[in-house]
């Protein structure tokens, strides 16, 4: 594969307005999230906290990581980046970037941008305007678009409605994290439970004197193909993707199977039917698919975790299906078609309205799983700078969700023995011929930098060597006492 720049290349969202808040986030709050120095001591149990180095999960980018026994969130180390710290010499950053490009597996082709956050000074720009396959670094852009449209506190609603004549319709609202049983308010996956919804619906039906219903499923929120271009059989069999649906239990994951559900919406409806039966409601006949009647009355509803927490989970675990859902719901909230194509257009439209340069970007999915996606290193760093500008508090969960080098998420087993450990937060990205790393690092001098590095077009089989070279570059950036 040649370098990407050289290839041709419902109700849930109605009336949602993009939220632009004028108030600024105190700089110290942002520093607490972005600087991870304390996290290293925390993880080693040298200081009280929530991180741990036990049972690190292996890198599987852009594929989803297994869920940790307890979600790791709210990582806010008390050390702050020093705004008075010296800015690294551009010549040093250029040198290590030239060394990266000169390594054999990369064939001189990577793109990289490094920016000093406090001053906005660009320290290196290599192939910055070229369009690359971003892999899962794309998830940063998708998360920001969803947060801009809905706000970090938004929750997606799953409801059941009735027509008063014994017909109950389960209406999908974009929550793929439902539990089949009771919900757990402390969880992201499993926050809302279909058993809780069934309990409310059963109470409403009993008030109507009904104990028997026919169940329908309204999963019309999403449209278009269920699989994106360049998603292959291995992506489905490995559980990295599934046919997209606007409702699912446990993100479509099936107990005892790597592959996910082939009809997650129907599986959710069947789980809901069982929950209704457990409440003493008879469900007659087979479940049918039908759009809910406009005049239907709500019988019950449950809500997902807050969007900020979903974003945190999605970025930390590189969860492809949730990222695709964020793209689809961005389309719903901006009156685009809620398809793969519509989601890509919606995300780029929101980013453009935020002032980012999307002129060279092309999205055929919103997880980065497709090798047909294209973004520039400049776009990635422009987005990261918005996270730190203090004027977009809704993006704090993006900073918080980026995995910490050597400690958690998809970086738990990478950059774990050097200057970057605990001091770098970044979104990883890995496909057969694409490697990316995009995020923030605090240098040895205490200066906070935003960066993006992307490599494409290397020979199949060299992905490990390329990723190692990128990690070495990131480690050199973190080690910079180079003022």
**What is the domain-level CATH number for residue 22?**
3.40.710.10
Tell me the pTM. 0.86
- The residue written with tokens 């710290």 in the block is 85
CA separation for the pair 353, 357 (Å, rounded): 10
Gap between the terminal Cα atoms of the chain: 39
Residues of the chain with confidence (pLDDT) below 70? 1-82, 108
Q: Apex CA 441: angle with CA 436 and CA 443, to 5°?
A: 135
Return the exposure string of 11-49: e unless at least 16 CB atoms fall within 10 Å of the residue's CB, then b: ebbeebebbeeeeebeeebbbbbbbbbbbbbbbeeeeeb
297 and 341 together in one domain: no
**Same domain for 443 and 315:** yes
Each residue's pLDDT tens digit, 465-483? 999 999 999 999 999 988 7
The tokens of 419 are what?
A: 């200057």
Say yes or no: 132 and 189 in one domain: no
Mean of pLDDT over the chain: 87
Residues 297 and 345 grouped into a single domain: no
What is the model's pLDDT at position 106? 87
- Cα distances from 81 to residues 7, 34, 43, 50, 370, in angstroms, run 40, 8, 19, 21, 36
- What is the model's pLDDT at position 20? 38
| Separation between Cα atoms, residue 101 and residue 275, nearest integer Å | 57
Residue 265 sits in the same domain as residue 331: no
Cβ(449)–Cβ(441) below 8 Å: yes
Task: Count other C-beta atoms under 10 Å from residue 71's C-beta.
Answer: 18
Domain stops at, among 282, 305, 328: 305
**460 located within any domain:** yes
Gap between the Cα atoms of 359 and 381, Å rounded: 15
Tokens of 427: 């979104």
Q: Among 309, 415, 296, which Cα is nearest to 71's?
A: 309
Domain housing 370: 4-151+308-478
Could you tell me if 191 and 300 lie in one domain? yes
Return the beta strands (E) in 415-472 as ranges. Answer: 424-431, 434-442, 448-456
> Which tokens in the block code for residue 264?
């997650």
Helix, strand, or coil here: 396? helix
Tokens matching residue 458: 């290397």
The reply to whether 115 and 163 lie within a common domain is no
Backbone dihedral region for residue 230 (phi beyond 0: left; psi -120 to 50: alpha; all else: beta): left
According to the 3-state scheme, what is the secondary structure of 136-184?
HHHHHHHHHHHHHHHCCCCCCEEEEEECCCCEEEEECCCEEEEECCCCC
pLDDT in the model for residue 83: 73
**Between helices 377-388 and 138-150, what is the axis angle to 10°?**
40
Tell me the two tokens of residue 36: 């991870």
Tell me what pLDDT residue 81 has. Answer: 57
Do both 464 and 418 map to the same domain?
yes
Q: Write the CA distances from 23 to 53, 101, 162, 390, 394, integer angstroms.
A: 36, 41, 43, 8, 11
Q: Are 165 and 284 in the same domain?
A: yes
The per-residue pLDDT for range 370-412, each reduced to its tens digit, is 999 999 999 999 999 999 998 999 999 999 999 999 999 999 9
Q: What is the pLDDT of residue 31?
A: 55
Strand order of the sheet with strand 448-456? 122-126, 111-116, 448-456, 434-442, 424-431
Q: For the domain that residue 207 is a member of, what is the CATH number?
A: 3.50.80.20
Per DSSP, 201 falls in state: H
Domain count, the chain: 2
* Cβ neighbours of residue 331 closer than 8 Å, sequence gap 6 or more: 337, 338, 339, 342, 343, 345, 346
Last residue of a domain, one of 290, 305, 320: 305
In this structure, what token pair is assigned to residue 424?
A: 């770098």
- Residue 483 located in a structural domain: no
> pLDDT digits over 422-471, tens only?
999 999 999 999 999 999 999 999 999 999 999 999 999 999 999 999 99
Domain boundary among 283, 305, 327: 305
Structural tokens at position 325: 């859902």
350 and 290 share one domain:
no
140 and 185: one domain?
no
For strand 212-218 and strand 282-289, is the pairing parallel, antiparallel, or unpaired?
A: parallel
- Are residues 361 and 297 located together in one domain of the fold? no
As annotated, the active-site residues are 136, 139, 318
- What 226-231 contacts at long range (C-beta under 8 Å, 24+ apart), as own/partner pairs, is 228/324, 228/340, 228/364, 228/365, 228/369, 228/370, 229/340, 229/364, 229/365, 229/370, 229/372, 230/364, 230/369, 230/370, 230/371, 230/372, 231/365, 231/369, 231/370
Question: Which residue pairs from 53-57 have beta carbons closer than 8 angstroms and sit at least 24 positions apart in sequence?
Answer: 53/407, 56/408, 56/412, 56/413, 56/416, 57/409, 57/410, 57/412, 57/413
C-alpha 192: how far from chain center: 19
DSSP string, 186-199: T-STTSSBHHHHHH
Scan for tokens 């807050």, then name that residue: 306
Strand order across the beta sheet in which 167-171 lies:
282-289, 212-218, 167-171, 157-162, 297-303
């Amino acid at each position: 594969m040649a370098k990407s720049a050289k290839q041709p290349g419902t109700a849930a969202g109605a009336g949602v307005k993009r939220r632009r808040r004028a108030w600024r986030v105190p700089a110290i709050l942002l520093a607490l999230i972005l600087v991870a120095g304390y996290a290293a001591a925390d993880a080693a149990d040298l200081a009280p906290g929530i991180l741990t180095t036990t049972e690190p999960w292996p890198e599987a980018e852009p594929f989803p990581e297994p869920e940790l026994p307890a979600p790791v969130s709210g990582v806010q180390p008390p050390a702050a980046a020093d705004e008075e710290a010296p800015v690294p010499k551009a010549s040093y950053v250029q040198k290590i970037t030239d060394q990266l490009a000169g390594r054999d597996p990369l064939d001189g082709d990577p793109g990289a941008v490094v920016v000093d956050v406090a001053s906005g000074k660009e320290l290196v720009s290599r192939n910055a305007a070229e369009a690359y396959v971003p892999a899962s670094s794309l998830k940063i852009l998708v998360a920001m678009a969803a947060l801009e449209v809905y706000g970090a506190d938004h929750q997606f609603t799953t409801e059941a409605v009735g027509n008063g004549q014994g017909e109950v319709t389960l209406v999908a609202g974009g929550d793929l994290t439902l539990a089949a049983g009771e919900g757990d308010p402390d969880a992201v996956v499993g926050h809302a439970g279909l058993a809780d919804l069934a309990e409310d619906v059963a109470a409403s039906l009993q008030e109507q004197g009904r104990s028997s219903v026919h169940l329908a499923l309204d999963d019309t929120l999403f449209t278009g193909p269920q699989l994106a271009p360049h998603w292959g059989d291995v992506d489905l069999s490995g559980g990295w993707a599934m046919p997209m649906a606007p409702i699912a239990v446990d993100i479509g994951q099936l107990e005892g199977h790597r592959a996910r559900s082939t009809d997650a919406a129907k599986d959710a409806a069947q789980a809901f039917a069982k929950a209704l039966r457990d409440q003493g409601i008879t469900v007659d006949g087979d479940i049918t698919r039908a759009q809910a009647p406009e005049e239907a009355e709500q019988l019950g509803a449950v809500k997902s975790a807050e969007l900020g927490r979903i974003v945190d989970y999605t970025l930390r675990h590189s969860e492809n299906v949730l990222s695709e859902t964020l793209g689809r719901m961005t389309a719903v909230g901006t009156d685009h078609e809620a398809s793969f194509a519509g989601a890509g257009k919606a995300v780029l439209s929101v980013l453009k309205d935020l002032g980012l340069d999307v002129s060279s970007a092309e999205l055929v999915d919103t997880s980065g799983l497709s090798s047909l996606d294209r973004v520039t290193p400049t776009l990635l760093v422009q987005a990261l700078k918005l996270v730190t500008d203090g004027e977009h508090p809704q993006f704090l969960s993006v900073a918080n969700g980026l995995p910490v080098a050597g400690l958690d998420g998809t970086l738990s087993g990478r950059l774990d023995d050097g200057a970057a450990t605990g001091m770098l937060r970044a979104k990883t990205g890995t496909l057969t011929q694409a490697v990316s790393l995009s995020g923030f690092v605090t240098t040895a001098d205490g200066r906070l930098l935003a960066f993006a590095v992307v490599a494409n077009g290397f020979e199949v089989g060299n992905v490990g060597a390329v990723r190692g070279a990128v990690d070495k570059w990131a480690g050199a950036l973190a080690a910079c006492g180079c003022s």
